[in-house]
Amino acid sequence: MKPSKTNQTLLRNARIVFPDRVEKRDLLVRDDRIAPSDGELPSDGFDEIDLAECRLVPGFIDVHIHGAIGVDTMEADAAGLRRISEFLATQGVTAWLPTLVPAPDADYKQAIAVIGEAMKSTAGARILGVHYEGPFVNSAQCGALRQQYFRSFVNNDSLDSLPRLANPAAVHMMTVAPEVEGGIELVRQLKRRGWIVSIGHTRAEFEVLDETLTAGARHMTHFMNAMAPLQQRAPGPIGWGLLRDEVTCDVIADGIHLDRHMLELILKSKGSERLMLISDAIAAAGKGDGDYQIWGETISVKDGRTRNSRGNIAGSVISLLDAVRTMESLGVSEVDLAHMSSTNPAKLLSLDGECGSIEAGKRADLVALNAEKKVVLVMVNGEVVLPAA
Ligand SMILES: [Zn+2]
């Protein structure tokens, strides 16, 4: 990490993507925050970085990612998670939620201990907490998750046996299928404990989903993937997600999990305010094609498509930067892209008062993209992490 000469950096001449407009301006970063625009330039000196020809956007926030560069979040040690954080920062990701797949108690315990340790580090992208993908999900929509570790919610002990991060600021998120035994009560209990609840790996029917909404779940995990399909007499989770305005969705925009026209359809129905991007990347991300041992099986990657031994697609190998490029190729505006890659994830996690947009007082998690949409500068907490010193 590059130590700054001063605690103030002036970013010059960038086209800045604000929540409601794009404007060419200078932006002052003071300590770890974005300084007010009407403030005077500091007289005691500041670093200067020229960003002419660049677009400055809020750092991407990935709430669903299992690993990268050969490191899996279920098996990593704290140094491994830091390596993922450093890699993600090079892709413009400034915060992320390590995402856990269904596993035995001991594996969960180990993974949570490691995440807790890695959260103390300041290397690269910030680790915000944890996302449990399952274990209370539907075996009939398992995707690449291991069914033998799926659970049903019997009583509060079913939930309390899952380890939690000790850090009081840590985010806890869980993807659940509300139709599993005790599913609605599970959602209520999660909300009571302050968890973010997302609906996924599900075949729930409309009425159950409406009950789930009342219980406090209003987000859907990798919308359209690992869900019962939309049918003329069975709208299911996809019909529900498209129809209910209160519900937000995330999508894997890698060009493989969803046809481009499906992305267009979701965008048309949900709008940029209710749609966000995730990578759902696995440890093979950033490594290229090949065979990888992940989650106790061989997952092969060919031409950017993952496949497990059952022939199922098993996560992606993209970063949010790739997802942003995909959405931009569909004609999404720069302002809307910032909502989908940063502002909306921050809102989902109730961190939008703190980060997720370029506004005075917010954390200086910033990314500059050049005309070729390559990442040329990344700041996390006001520190330049790319280019490396
Ligand atoms: Zn996943």
Report d(CA 159, CA 44) in Å as an integer.
53
**Cα of 26 from ligand 1 centre, angstroms:** 38
pLDDT number for residue 2 = 45
| Cα 38 to averaged position of ligand 1 atoms, centre (Å) | 43
* Residues above pLDDT 70, as percent of the chain: 98
Judge whether 29 and 11 are in contact, CB under 8 Å: yes
Question: Is-catalytic flag, 280?
Answer: yes
The pLDDT, as a whole number, for residue 38 is 77
Candidate CATH numbers 3.20.20.140, 3.40.50.300, 3.40.190.80, 3.90.1150.10; the one for domain 60-348: 3.20.20.140
Backbone angles phi, psi at 387, to 5 degrees: -65, 145
pLDDT tens readout for residues 323-361: 999 999 999 999 999 999 999 999 999 999 999 999 999
Nearest to 186 by CA among 202, 171, 170: 202
pLDDT tens-digit series, residues 261-307: 999 999 999 999 999 999 999 999 999 999 999 998 999 999 999 99
Q: How far is the CA of 98 from the centre of ligand 1 (A)?
A: 10
Count how many residues are written for the chain.
Answer: 389
Query: Residue 209's beta-bridge partner residues?
Result: none
Write the DSSP symbol of residue 148: G
Cα 55 to middle of ligand 1, angstroms:
30
Ligand 1 centre and the CA of 360: distance in Å? Answer: 34
Orientation of helix 78-90 relative to helix 105-118, angle to 10°: 60
pLDDT in tens, 96-123: 999 999 999 999 999 999 999 999 988 8
> CA 29, CA 365: separation in Å to the nearest integer?
10
Task: Give the pLDDT confidence of 209-218 residue by residue, as tens digits.
Answer: 999 999 999 9
Domain 8-56+361-386: give its CATH code: 2.30.40.10
Domain with CATH 3.20.20.140 in the chain: 60-348
User: 62, 280, 322, 365: which one is catalytic?
Assistant: 280
Sequence ranges of the chain with CATH classification 2.30.40.10: 8-56+361-386
What predicted TM-score, i.e. pTM, was given to this entire model? 0.96
More confident residue, 383 or 3: 383
- Tell me how far the alpha carbon of residue 261 lies from the centroid of ligand 1, in angstroms: 22
